[in-house]
């Protein structure tokens, strides 16, 4: 990007993350690290998707703690509130407002085809609520409110993004040009970090098995222990190749945190065993996450600073969102407010 490109000319990025647990190394390598890296080249808006997390039953006191903690983690990872918009979804009322209008422009059949809805309703058969079903309309609102050009998401969210594009195009055709039609942005590195307990499954913060994931805030000894226990295979050679899911995963984590190529890692570990690799990965992850955890601990002690950041974030976000919302209400025929 040319250096003289102004803030106004940069493309707009929006992404969100649900505060449903402590963020994992998977969230960090697959999403947060890229969010931080994109701040200089794009106009970024990052959101704690607290409203989305209500689609699954949450305990209120715990949720509040997780939301605040998630905000501090994003700051600790390097999201800079001077460069990027950082806010809580629930503090910008336009999200709920636009979600309603968009849900009236989303078809039952479209929502029924969403694989996340099918998966989550199977998993939470006792609570298949309307929010779980209309979740993609709220996600579309998050994105379209900010006229985002690009949306960094993982594979699992691509279908929701396709639907967002369909909704935006439909609305634009029906009411005249209103929304930027966004594109998915799939970051190059760290696409999928796998579970340490079952390397054929994605590492996920809601996994019931605590040994399956490392969180950004785990203490060094916990990180080392979890890596020592990581499931591998019965082979002995450290090589990145098909069928060696456990070793491939360890190598991809090691590469993500050290910047070393697979070739280099294979050379460095020639003649060494799996135990050596596990320890080296554990130690590299500990060192990589140390400054994040230390900064997080400081931030959590300064509630006044956190509050000033999220208040300001919500205010700035609302002023952008309100511009879109006025346009939308006018287009659909409401009397202006």
Q: Which amino acids are annotated catalytic?
A: 120, 202, 205
Give the nearer residue to ligand LTN in terms of CB position, either 140 or 196. 140
Q: Output the six-digit token pair for 320.
A: 């952008």
Could you tell me which of 14, 332, 11, 51 has the C-alpha nearest to residue 146? Answer: 14
* Residue 246 within binding range of ligand ATP, rule CB under 6 A: no
Please choose which of ligand ATP, ligand LTN, none residue 45 contacts, taking the beta carbon within 5 to 8 angstroms, the exact cut-off set by kind.
none
| Closest distance of CB 194 from ligand ATP, Å | 7
Give the nearer residue to ligand LTN in terms of CB position, either 80 or 155. 155
| Closest distance of CB 85 from ligand LTN, Å | 13
> Quick one: which segment of 139-147, 204-212, 229-237, 301-309 binds ligand ATP (CB under 6 A)?
204-212
Q: Do 238 and 277 form a contact (C-beta atoms < 8 A)?
A: yes
Give the nearer residue to ligand ATP in terms of CB position, either 24 or 137. 24
DSSP characters for 163-221? HHHHHHHHHHHHHSS-S---EEE--SS---PBPSS-TTSB--TT-S-GGG--BTT--HH
* Residue 19 within binding range of ligand ATP, rule CB under 6 A: no
Q: Contact with ligand LTN (CB under 6 A): which of 12, 13, 14, 328?
A: 14
Q: Within positions 25 to 54, which residues make up the interface with ligand LTN, using CB under 6 A?
A: 49, 52
Question: Distance (Å, rounded) from C-alpha 88 to C-alpha 96?
Answer: 12
| Closest distance of CB 199 from ligand ATP, Å | 11
* Residue 327 within binding range of ligand ATP, rule CB under 6 A: no
Could you tell me which of 117, 125, 31 has the C-alpha nearest to residue 70? Answer: 31
Q: Within positions 168 to 227, which residues make up the interface with ligand LTN, using CB under 6 A?
A: none
Question: Distance (Å, rounded) from C-alpha 32 to C-alpha 24?
Answer: 10
| Closest distance of CB 171 from ligand ATP, Å | 25
Question: Distance (Å, rounded) from C-alpha 223 to C-alpha 225?
Answer: 5
Q: Output the six-digit token pair for 157.
A: 């969210």
* Residue 26 within binding range of ligand ATP, rule CB under 6 A: yes
Q: Is 178 exposed, middle or buried (0-12, 13-18, 19+ CB in 10 A)?
A: middle
Q: Do 13 and 182 form a contact (C-beta atoms < 8 A)?
A: no
Instruction: Categorise residue 281: left if φ over 0, alpha if ψ from -120 to 50, beta otherwise.
Output: alpha
> Quick one: which segment of 2-10, 12-20, 299-307, 325-333 binds ligand LTN (CB under 6 A)?
12-20
Q: Do 227 and 285 form a contact (C-beta atoms < 8 A)?
A: yes
Q: Within positions 79 to 138, which residues make up the interface with ligand LTN, using CB under 6 A?
A: none
Q: CA-based angle 232:235:239, to the nearest 5?
A: 80
Please give the residue ranges that form the binding site for ligand ATP (CB under 6 A).
17-18, 20, 24, 26-27, 29-31, 153-154, 190, 192-193, 202-206
Please give the residue ranges that form the binding site for ligand LTN (CB under 6 A).
14-18, 49, 52, 139, 142-143, 151, 153, 157
């Amino acid at each position: 990007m040319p250096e003289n490109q102004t803030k106004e000319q940069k493309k707009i990025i929006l992404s969100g993350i649900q505060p449903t647990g402590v963020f994992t190394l998977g969230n960090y390598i697959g999403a947060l690290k890229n969010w931080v890296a994109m701040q200089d080249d794009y106009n970024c808006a990052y959101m704690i998707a607290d409203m989305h997390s209500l689609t699954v039953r949450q305990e209120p006191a715990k949720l509040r703690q997780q939301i605040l903690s998630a905000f501090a983690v994003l700051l600790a990872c390097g999201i800079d509130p001077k460069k990027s918009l950082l806010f809580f979804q629930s503090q910008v009322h336009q999200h709920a407002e636009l979600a309603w209008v968009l849900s009236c422009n989303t078809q039952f059949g479209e929502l029924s085809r969403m694989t996340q809805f099918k998966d989550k309703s199977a998993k939470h058969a006792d609570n298949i609520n309307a929010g779980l079903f209309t979740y993609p309309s709220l996600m579309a609102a998050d994105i379209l409110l900010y006229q985002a050009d690009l949306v960094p998401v993982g594979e699992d969210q691509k279908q929701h993004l396709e639907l967002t594009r369909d909704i935006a195009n439909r609305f634009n055709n029906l009411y005249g040009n209103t929304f930027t039609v966004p594109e998915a942005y799939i970051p190059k590195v760290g696409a999928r970090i796998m579970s340490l307990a079952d390397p054929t499954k994605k590492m996920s913060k809601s996994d019931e098995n605590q040994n399956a994931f490392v969180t950004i805030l785990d203490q060094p000894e916990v990180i080392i222990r979890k890596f020592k226990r990581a499931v591998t295979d019965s082979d002995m050679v450290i090589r990145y190749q098909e069928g060696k899911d456990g070793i491939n995963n360890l190598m991809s984590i090691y590469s993500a945190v050290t910047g070393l190529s697979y070739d280099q890692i294979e050379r460095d570990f020639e003649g060494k065993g799996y135990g050596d690799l596990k320890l080296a990965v554990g130690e590299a992850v500990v060192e990589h996450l140390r400054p994040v955890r230390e900064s997080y601990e400081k931030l959590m002690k300064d509630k006044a600073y956190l509050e000033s950041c999220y208040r300001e974030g919500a205010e700035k976000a609302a002023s952008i969102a309100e511009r879109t919302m006025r346009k939308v209400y006018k287009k659909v025929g409401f009397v202006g407010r």
